[in-house]
Amino acid sequence: MLSNSSLETLFTKARSQNGWLNKDITDEQIQQLYDLLKFGPTSANSCPARFTFIRTKEAKERLKLYLDNGNINKSMSAPAVAIISYDLEFYQKLP
């Protein structure tokens, strides 16, 4: 069981991030994040989730057209934007 402090950090004190450090995110940091994400709950050891990390200004500009007005400034200034989607035919790729 997690400590009360950890539970509070995750569930009762967590807030949306509205500002970012002016610092790039590295490939290693994205890999570490993905390595944590892949341990999420699964069914039959399969995961239809797909994670896309957008970091370049050009890619963020393309994404901008699809963002809600309230999220544009936050997304454009973030070091990376994560798009979490899923593959409806993920089972086709199972061994």
List all residues 6 or more positions away from 23 whose beta carbon is below 8 Å from its beta carbon.
Answer: 79
- Give residue-wise pLDDT tens across range 46-63: 888 889 999 999 999 999
pLDDT value for 16: 81
Cα angle at 67 between 21 and 46, to 5 degrees?
Answer: 85
Higher-confidence position of 43 and 70? 70
Kind of pairing, strands 81-86 and 49-54? antiparallel
pLDDT value for 29: 95
Domains and CATH numbers, the chain: 4-93 (3.40.109.10)
* Count of other CB atoms within 10 angstroms of residue 82: 13
Confidence of residue 92 (pLDDT cuts 50, 70, 90): confident
Decide if pLDDT at 35 tops 80.
yes
Taking the whole predicted model, whether its pTM rises above 0.75 is answered as no
